[in-house]
Amino acid sequence: MAEVRELLDANVRRVFNNRDDSARRLAIDEIYTEDVVFTEPEGTVTGRDSLDERAAALLARTPATFEFVADGPRYVSTTTGALAWEFGPPGAPVVRGIDFITVRDGQISELRTMLAGEG
């Protein structure tokens, strides 16, 4: 069973930073429950297929130089975690956010993404 800290990192590195469709899907099947719920500013989707579609769409509409990078410490308990991140070209992020995860049986069962507001 994966630990919360490992899942926070895998969510960013192996899924949302992964432009290889096959490798990303393998990671999704390993990291998330079948009924994972993903909530972001664009809405909420349920299931691995829907999460994969959202990740693929995000990566398809951004330049290949854009990457997610951790922006601070990981906050963890036994079943929840949070990780702030930046997204954009190295050293010049265009967006910042934070991911909150809930873990069930060693996999992410819920992923909530919030973006930093302006002002």
Model pLDDT for residues 22-44, shown as the tens digit of each residue: 999 999 999 999 999 999 999 99
- Is the pLDDT at 8 greater than 80, yes or no? yes
CB atoms within 10 A of CB 2: 16
Confidence of residue 58 (pLDDT cuts 50, 70, 90): very high
Domain residue spans in the chain? 4-115
pTM of the prediction? 0.94
Let me know if 61 is exposed, middle or buried by CB neighbors in 10 A (0-12, 13-18, 19+). Answer: exposed
What is each CA distance from 31 to 34, 48, 88, 98, 101, in whole angstroms?
10, 10, 24, 18, 11
What is the domain class of 4-115 according to CATH? alpha beta
Confidence of residue 1 (pLDDT cuts 50, 70, 90): low
Query: What pLDDT is stored for residue 119 in this prediction?
Result: 45
What is each CA distance from 119 to 5, 68, 85, 116, in whole angstroms?
31, 22, 18, 9
Query: What pLDDT is stored for residue 2 in this prediction?
Result: 80
d(CA 39, CA 112): 5
Residue 60, amino acid: A
State the Cα torsion 54-55-58-63 to the nearest 10°: -160
Write the CB contacts of 108 (distance below 8 Å, at least 6 apart in sequence): 7, 11, 31, 32, 33, 36, 101, 102
Model pLDDT for residues 62-117, shown as the tens digit of each residue: 999 999 999 999 999 999 999 999 999 999 999 999 999 999 999 999 999 999 97
Phi/psi for 114 (5° steps) reads -120, 140
